[in-house]
Structure 1
Amino acid sequence: MEAISKVKVERISSSDLVKLSYEIDDPGICQQTLKIYIDVCTKKYKDLKENGSDTVVKYFEAQLSESEKKLKAIEQKLLKFNQDNNIINYYEQSKAVAIVKEDMDVAYKKGMAQLAGSEASAQRLEQKLAIQELIQQKNNAIVDSKKELGELNYKIGMYAAKSSNNETSKQHLENLKKQAKALQKEIKTNVDELYTFQNSTDGVPIKKVLPDWVDKTVESEDLKAKLSVMNQQNKAIEKQFATYAPAGANLKRIEREINVAEQEYLEILHGLNLAKLKFQDAQLSSNLTAVDPPFYPLKPMPSKRKIIIIAIVFITGIIILATILFMEFFDDTLKNEQKASEKLQIPSMGMLPKLFRAKPHLDLVKMQDRLMDFVMQNFHQNFKAQNNTKTPKIITVFSTRDNEGKSVITANIAKRLKASGYSVLVLNHSNEDKSKTSVSKSPWLYKFLGYQDPRIDYNHPFLSQTTAGLSASEYYVYNKSIAYRDVKNYDELSFEVSEKTTKTQIIF
């Protein structure tokens, strides 16, 4: 990732071309890094284009499936609505019902008008037929009047035949003639009325009115039957109208839902087609190609690498030197004999190092013996400078901390003095051997880093047992008082040594 992050990307002018450059020490790594970078970019670009388009296609396919289910559900709802209301084609059926109703209304009104006319004609004919009784009465009256007129004429003839001149007879004859004349007039009137009764106002004979009345009566009954049937049909049509009226509104609502769902389906289908086209276009256009593949660089680019390296080495040297000087100036450790004498204000007899495990080519035994020779020379010089008396000399070895090697150094000094012909006596507070433990559990890490092996070399002759080389009369052990273990201050001690001081003495 660090190498790829150093690849520089630069657009060439305003074109769609991109220039990639990479700088590194190895020319092969430079070329292969650019190749890998181009391959990864091409693959990622193709995946990005195809995955984005494929996600859109899947989205539209899911939406199309949901829209199709919704459209089918609404269409099924329309089918059930048509089945429940017995509708095949609502608009044609409603139009046909409206036309039939209009025709039925016209026919019904026309039938009602015809019925009214027929009933009026029948009533008129019935009125004409009611005169027949009057005609019969008139005929009887005319016959009676003729019979009476005949009798009067007979009486007139009889009185005239008798030709009596008396006033009574004449008067009686005149009365008869008046009666006869009145009867004649009555008969004439009855005959005129009879003629009037026997002929209608239209000049139609009464005999012809009866068939017409029968026809009109039959026609009226026929019209009544037709109108009754038409009335039932009108009720059925009105019932169908009552069904079709709300059905139209519900049908419109369902059709609007279907139209909206259909438009939604078509829009999603259109979007799906566009997404598929874009996906195909992305597949065709997602193949990035390198116009100029990365080449193997033959000549390195001029750089300031050498100057930078020299500057780094110079600065590093200055930092190291400054660090050493700083540590040397502020270091309070006793690194050598001279510095120890200056720090402690005490003359130094010598210095002995810790005995680590050394490499095979180093002879630490001789080095340690040589250092002990220097220490013993200082001892002898120091004793010679003092008053040379035959009294025993006491050498006290002490330290401010435990396990500093007092017993080991005391035993080695005693052995050297004995070897020089002196009689020695070592007084030690304890003869317990210290546990020989290793300082480090991972010496290989110190070796790997180039440091000294930190483990103590217990096989070194200098670290041999303290009683080795000394007789029982030359080594004496005394026990420390337990009371000194619990002392808490300087006043509790009976000798001029700090509370943590342990000591070993050599008397010679």
Structure 2
Amino acid sequence: MLVPIIITIACIYFTKNLSRTYEVKATVYTGIVSGYTIEGESGISDYIGVANAMDNLINIIQAENTLKRVSYRLYARNMIHGDLNNDNQYISSSSFREIYGRTKNNRDGAALLGLIDSTSEEKTFQNILKYEKQNKDNFIYGLFYWNHPHYCYNALKNIRVSRKNNSDLLEISYTSNDPGIAYNTLDILMKEFVNEYREIRYGETDKVIAYFKSELDRIGAELRIAEDSLTNYNIEKRVINYYDETKEIAAINKEFELREQSATLEFNSAKALTDQLEARMGNNLKQIKNNIDFINKLNKVSSLTGAISEIQSFGSGESSKTNNLVSLKKQLDNTSKELSDISNQYVEDKYTKEGIAKSSIVSQWLDQVLLYEKAKSDLQVIQKNRRELNEKYVFFAPVGSTIKRKERNINFTEQNYLSVLKSYNDALMRKKNLEMTSATLKVLNPPAFPIQAQPTKRKIIVIAAFAGSILLILGFFILLELMDRTLHDKVRTELFTNLKVIGAFPGKSLIKYRNYDKAVQAIATKYLSSAILPYLVNKKEKLPFIINFLSTEAGDGKSFLINELVQYWSGAGLNVKSLNWNKDFNVYSSEYLIAESVTSLYNIENEDILLVEHPVLKSNNISTNLLNEANLNIIIVRATRGWKESDSILINKLSNQLTNKELVIYLNKAERYVVEGYTGMLPPYNSYRRFVYRLLHLELTAKYENLQ
């Protein structure tokens, strides 16, 4: 009981100056669960997605890179605003003196102090980033990776982030022994993690947007070049609308085929009739054809007919061409009359031999000639235009394939452009969604400067020290009891020996109880006598009551106890005799080794009780007859020694020698409390002794009166 009390008092003393801690909390609204995207739909509806998004946020807050930036910004802020003599809302004076001294006294202290720009935290932070090198001798690098209580990674890892139930809220808390550092650490973290979150989320999206934008510009340039190329080609080839023009040419070609067929029929028909009529005309035909004026008129008719035919075939309805056509027709009529007049002048006979008037034949011939010339002119005009159409076919064939190839290229480029444009718009939409979700990251409850320290754990520490010391000591003694084979008391002795313990005799008392030793020994001797006497029954004829005192080792106190009993019983009027193996008989003689009775060792007279002290069992053997002849065989053993395996073997051997005899054990040199378990309370009988005795025996409400 004293050790736990001493430990508890020491713990109270050493924890009187226990450092106080300050806790700062902040709450962040994420909007991940109940937020909305740009399409108006809820953000993330599935449980796994929500959990993943929240875990990402928590991991970003607790990420090493985020905490490093917080550490450097906190260091910059404290070095700018710290005061060596006064506490402020940034850092206490004691903490600032520590970090300032650490910075100044560094081997590169002048350069480190040069990093501090008192006008700007951002510039100081950038200077720190430039100075940092991944080297163990670099002060800034070591500030984060060594074990500084305010700026190192292990300290900042104690920032706790937890989701509040299943809501959109994240609760962030941090505890430090400096209120200013605790507050500013969370204040910087609130801004830093939002920037880190946006950078991570926007980084990939911005790269994708930049890629699609570059592709869009490239494909757009290709599309413009292809379209300009088609336009220039159409201008070069004088093509307005290739497909309509080719359709028109095909229609004209078909029309000319029909007209050519019709003109050919007319030409052939007119030629056949003309030949037939010329055969009938005879000499008149030669005269007419030899007339230069007739030939000229005929050529003029042919020319006019061709001109009229060309105008009629390809006229566009213009007024000038219409007037020209009327004029040509008038000229044609006049020339035809002139031809008719000339032909009439050359008719020789009035009638032909078939009886037909020659003037009628000439008139018909002239009409057929005119029709022939007209059909011939029409056919020539049509054939000429057919040749022009063929040239157009030759022209439009390669133009068409080239235009189609260019149009296919434009169409492919346009589709590619539209596809990239859609992807670009999707990426922009994604970025807007990210902007909306990032905009919902709002510090709902910003960190507040703590003005009251957290309750210390001093009470818990003291209670834990008290309870722990008790458990430690109790555990030690339990372990000692489980492992120790020292006999000590009745319970352990009976457990180890499997023999009945009939009593205990005290050893030397403490100095303050030395005056009571004789009284205590007398009480113990009296109890020993009382314990032995019940075994003294069935006395054999001509023999006293025999008691064998045995032990497994030397020094257990057999002689002492025998002397005490001899004195006590002799005082009571009994005739008692003691035999000692070292004095009264020879343990190495045949009389002892194979003795059939105690009479072989000693001549019995008129003794009432015979106490026989045998040698130690470890080095001597005892006759079985001597053991069975005795009324009581008692093993004397010191309570202060351990029980060994050899002792158990000797006892088992001794027990096997006994026939219907009980082997008992008696403890010598036992503690007072063990003896009191048999004799009751031993002197002195003062109040303290009574209290201790009651505690040991759990007599919490017992009363003792007139104890002597």
User: TM-score, normalised to structure 2's length?
Assistant: 0.32
Larger radius of gyration: 1
